[in-house]
Copies of this chain bind each other. A is one copy, B any other.
Amino acid sequence: MSELRRDPITGRWIVLTPEHTRRPSDFIPAPEPPPSSAVCPFCEGHESMAGIELLSWRAEGTSANGPGWQVRVIPNREPILRVEAAHALPGQQVFQTLEGLGAHEVIIETPRHDETLSTMTREKLFCVLWAWRERMRDLKRDGRLRQFVVVKNHGALAGARQQHAHSQLIAMPLVPNVIRHEQASAERYHERTGACVFCDVIQYEQEANRRVIATDDLAISLCPFAPRMPFETWVLPRAHAAAFEDADNTLLTAITDRLQDALKRIDATLLVPAFNVILHTASIGDERSASYHWHLELLPRLQAVGGVELATGTWVNAVPPEEAADALRAAAAV
């Protein structure tokens, strides 16, 4: 069973997963085996290797756990958190722990080993966002969960261990540090101004038009004012919306279009780099928040995370977001 531990000094939580046994020798780099779709558990036809499906988008007349799907959600085989855990509230002692309660699911984004979010059709990419939303709506029935996060790691530099396109949905029993700080900062802004800082930023960016990549009636993509990494890009709903799982199909379609457009522009500009996609959404129970606004963060992984970033949280970035937005707007999104 995994365990959440709170650092007594910083208040930072970590997840300890000792069941993923790792000996020191497991960390010593070995040459990578050549990729082979023959042994990929995520490919169509290998459903029994991947695991029992929790959800799928599949062709009529096909059966669960067999071929014929477009998107397939399964439990993570090495979950960092599990629904079976008993929930223990943290105490006030120096060393706090919490059983690893939560959920950790894998969204297999395509049946094909050679397809990615930027090469698949928009209808297929919509299915991926649909699967995130439907799983969240289902998991919310468990009243012990506090926070959803979706992450996608593409490429070894971004932390991916499986080459086949997939994302991870994690449901946590607490609001983790980065999201808590983001929410608290947005809440302070709201108290001071009565407005949502995301809405204000979107309005400012549209008017200034220095960092916007593309926009339509419902969704916008832009390079944020203070990006952690070169070519960092965000995709947001234009109208105020705290919780991703409350998005309707019309909004999800608009977000799909902006996300795919941004991914294609990043691929064209940086020659298909490793990247992360992060979904930040309101904590469970805060779906009507006036201060928080869900969004996607796209982080091209072009450089190692160094000591300055780990020591200070201050990212050093050589590419102004205004120049990144210029380059991305000029790139062909085909």
Min CB gap A284→B, angstroms = 15
Q: Are A313 and B225 in contact (CB under 8 A)?
A: no
Which B residues lie within 8 Å of A41 (CB)? none
Q: Cβ of A56 < 8 Å from any Cβ of B?
A: no
| Residue from B6, B22, B186, B270 in contact with A27 in the complex, judged by beta carbons closer than 8 Å | B270
Q: Are B316 and A15 in contact (CB under 8 A)?
A: yes
Q: Cβ of A87 < 8 Å from any Cβ of B?
A: no
On chain A, the number of residues with a Cβ less than 8 Å from chain B's Cβ atoms is 90
Q: Cβ of A36 < 8 Å from any Cβ of B?
A: no
Q: Cβ of A24 < 8 Å from any Cβ of B?
A: yes
| Residue from B22, B149, B225, B278 in contact with A95 in the complex, judged by beta carbons closer than 8 Å | B225
Q: Which 3 residue pairs across A and B have the least CB separation, nearest first? A: A159-B306, A151-B307, A178-B313
Given A5-B225, A8-B201, A159-B309, 19 other A-B residues pairs in contact with their CB atoms under 8 A: A9-B185, A9-B186, A10-B185, A11-B181, A15-B317, A17-B317, A18-B323, A21-B318, A22-B318, A24-B327, A94-B201, A151-B310, A153-B307, A156-B304, A159-B306, A168-B308, A176-B312, A178-B311, A276-B307
